[in-house]
Homo-oligomer: A and B are copies of this chain.
Amino acid sequence: MKFHVEVRIKLKKGMLNPEASTIQRALALLGYSVEDTDTIDIITFTVDEDSLEAVEKEVEDMCQRLLCNPVIHDYEVSISEMEG
């Protein structure tokens, strides 16, 4: 079965996010006043596995080993079975 996987990665609360600060400052320079700017990275892919449980385990491994840095990132995984 094919599964569609979406991993949503953001910096843990309290970590400095220079990208978000830069965006907020640039918006302010253009005259837009916004607050609490934050950025989130999403990685999506499809994976072919026998069961949802197998995908969950595999994606958790990928996050720990490569996709995220557990010291500074929080992440959420969502998995959905694909049609066909």
Contact = CB atoms under 8 A, between A and B. Distances in A.
B45 A38 contact: yes
B33 A43 contact: no
Nearest to A39: B43
| Copies assembled | 2
Contact of A39 (B20, B33, B42): B42
Contacts of A30: 62, 65-66
A42 B36 CA distance: 14
Contact of A37 (B24, B37, B43): B43
Interface string A12-51: 0000000010011011001011111111111111111000
Given A30-B66, A35-B47, 4 more contacts: A30-B65, A35-B45, A38-B43, A39-B41
